[in-house]
Amino acid sequence: MDIVTVVGARPQFIKAAVVSHAFLQAGFRERIVHTGQHYDPGMSDVFFSELGIPLPDTNLEVGSGSHGAQTGAMMIGLESYLQTKRPDWLVVYGDTNSTLACAIVGAKLGIPVAHVEAGLRSFNMRMPEEINRIVTDRLSGLLFCPTQTAVEHLAREGMTKGVHLTGDVMLDATRFFAHRAAESRPLESILKGAPSSYFLATVHRAENTDDPSRLEAILQAFGQIEKTIVWPVHPRTRNLLSRFLVSGNIRIIEPVSYLAMLTLISQSSKVLTDSGGLQKEAVWLGKPCITMRDETEWTETLEGGWNQIVGADSHAIVRAISLEPTGPAPLFGSVAGGTASSHICRILAESFNPPASDHPSK
């Protein structure tokens, strides 16, 4: 089977890492297209080398831009590439502009699309990611759902054909790479003189970084917390922070690799984030999470108060810090009979219909 995988952003590199390993073991031929959505070496190149992902067959080098300009440039590059390659399946991940662009081009060219992490919904149409999810799910022939909740979302929208509950490939990645992260000890060079106890923070979503009032409220809350906050900051967000007063308890560092991030989570006391994936990783690694968004796609993380949704409300953020979860951390994203990656490989293999030979045996 000939597969083209399209990725463009950090979370997709991580998801593709474990699935690509499974593809290799299954004997599938895979070519990776990097759209260049994340083009900074610290956000892109290091993930390929660290996670053992095959080097991209091509990099479209699209870079940043408005949603329309970025998605349009990706579609032009993908169309040119796919017209000559014509794979059996296109595999896309998550909800980025790279995902949307590939789904549209695949549908136009008649190449079937398999969507890993299908069925997620925030029910917030102001989020570009929500639009990307809905369109991609509509255009995909195979929908690989990480949870039963995602399956139910699709059913309510009238989609049941090609829908499969596979489990969460991010759980595969967290389990596989957490041990490797502990062995590599990546924090020694990142957090010299690190405090014995700290909170980990990430803030990157446009709803927070592009709204000065929300970003200021988050910074004010951080300043009221009596603990060091370690914050790996994307270069774009770092530029925005120059407009605000940043409290002395906030330790800003450069973006880190995936292994380093797993170690940062594991050694933190709590996690404050607006990331989708980090909510899950925190809970899976037994760390209470405070999510600075107005909703979450990962409702499973809310069980027992392990994840609290606080928006960009300073008082709510500070109050959530004082609360502790009850009961064991919820475990979700697992399906009996194998890992999410192995289920995805099996379903793709079962759906493969190779063309009839041009020279049939007599």
What does DSSP assign to residue 360?
-
Q: Which whole-number Å values give the CA distances from 92 to 28, 170, 278, in the listed order?
A: 16, 14, 20
Tokens representing residue 244 in the block: 């605000």
Helix (H) or strand (E) holding 106: helix 97-109
How long, in residues, is the chain? 362
Catalytic-residue membership of 164? no
Other CB atoms within a 10 A radius of the CB of residue 107 amount to: 18
Q: Which whole-number Å values give the CA distances from 90 to 28, 71, 93, 105, 343, in the listed order?
A: 13, 17, 10, 10, 17
What residues pair up with 273 in beta bridges, in sequence order? 202, 291
Contact 16/32 with Cβ under 8 angstroms? yes
| Residue 348 DSSP SS3 | helix
Give the CB-side neighbour count of residue 353, counting CA atoms within 13 A: 3
Sequence-ordered list of residues with C-beta below 8 angstroms from that of 246, at least 6 positions apart, any chain:
219, 252
Contact 307/279 with Cβ under 8 angstroms? yes
Tracing tokens 């790996």 back to the chain, one arrives at: 232
Give the CB-side neighbour count of residue 201, counting CA atoms within 13 A: 24
Q: CB burial class (10 A; 0-12, 13-18, 19+) of residue 72? A: middle
Catalytic one among 34, 115, 164, 204?
204
Instruction: List residues with catalytic annotation.
Output: 204
